[in-house]
Amino acid sequence: MSNQETKKSQMSLSRIGGLVLIASLIGGFAVGFNIISIGIFIVGIILIIVGLATKKK
């Protein structure tokens, strides 16, 4: 049971990272890339990498 729950949380983590990435891209292009949008973009990339790395194990 716990193994399936961890898989779900990892999947949602990478999915959230993807959504954050898309949102930051749209926001960045709308406003023009500033420090905040770049920071959010980096956080999104980190979430995707963590989600994919934990999914492979």
Q: Is residue 6 part of a domain?
A: no
Residue 17 neighbours by CB distance under 10 Å: 20
- CA distances from residue 55 to 22, 26, 33, 35, 48 in whole angstroms, order as listed: 21, 27, 31, 30, 10
Domain assignment present for 47: yes
Alpha carbons within 13 A on the beta-carbon side of 46 = 6
**Model confidence over 30-54: pLDDT tens digits?**
666 666 767 777 887 888 788 778 7
Rounded (10°) angle between helices 35-56 and 2-31: 160
Percent of the chain at pLDDT exceeding 90: 0
Overall pTM surpassing 0.75 (yes/no): no
Q: Is residue 36 part of a domain?
A: yes
Is the residue at 11 inside a domain? no
**Residue 29: inside a domain, yes or no?**
yes
Number of domains, the chain: 1
Winning range, highest mean pLDDT, from 6-10, 17-21, 34-38 = 17-21
Assigned domain for 3 exists: no
Structure tokens belonging to residue 46 = 């980190």
Range of the structural domain that residue 51 is part of: 25-57
- 31 within some domain: yes
